[in-house]
Amino acid sequence: MKIKILFVCLGNICRSPMAEAVFKEELRKNGLEEKVDCDSAGTAGYHIGSSPDKRTLQVLAEHGISTPHLARKLEKADANRFDYVMVMDESNYSDTVSLIGIQHSSKVFLFREFDQADSIDLEVPDPYHGTMKDFNFVYELCLKSSQGLIRYLRVNHSM
Ligand code: 4NP
């Protein structure tokens, strides 16, 4: 059975579609794309149906990645559809647990818990009101966290 991973941020237009696309690219590079299904969602519904922010699309394009994702809101049923829910910051964590139910909190992780860089900061910061520098930083965090998550999946799911 495929492992199912959902990436979650606030608006589902900047960080979580970036995380989903970068993680998928790392799966592809590792020949693991058939083993894992991914999606992303937002805890808020402000941008439902929208393509990712053009700055997210630009950073991804600079790394040879594109994504067809359209924003959607996290829903309670996602708790049963996914094995892992990767959130970007502490505020996403509490909003996600409120939406899917505390009984599912054991599948919710801060994505950067898998970033193996020696850092005490476990958040992917919201770049929405920032500059391209902030979006590039989000990319670097998504890349390191994706690589760590793949190592974790290899060990824990015999992939
Ligand atoms: P994201 O960024 O959560 O990384 O998609 C945001 C996008 C939109 C808004 C806030 C954060 N907004 O307030 O519309």
Domain that holds residue 14: 3-156
Q: How far apart are CA 156 and CA 147, in angstroms?
A: 14
For residue 84, what are its two tokens?
């892992």
pLDDT tens for 137-146 read 999 999 999 9
Tell me how many domains the chain contains: 1
CATH of the domain at 102: 3.40.50.2300
| 75 SS3 class | coil
Nearest Cα residue to 86 out of 143, 1, 9, 157: 9
Mean pLDDT, the chain, integer: 97
Ligand 1-lining residues (CB < 6 angstroms):
9-15, 46, 126, 128
Among all residues, which ones are annotated catalytic? 9, 15, 126
For residue 17, what are its two tokens?
């579609």
Q: Answer whether 0.95 is exceeded by the pTM.
A: yes
pLDDT tens for 121-158 read 999 999 999 999 999 999 999 999 999 999 999 999 98
126, 138, 141: which to mutate for ligand 1, most atoms within 8 A of CB? 126
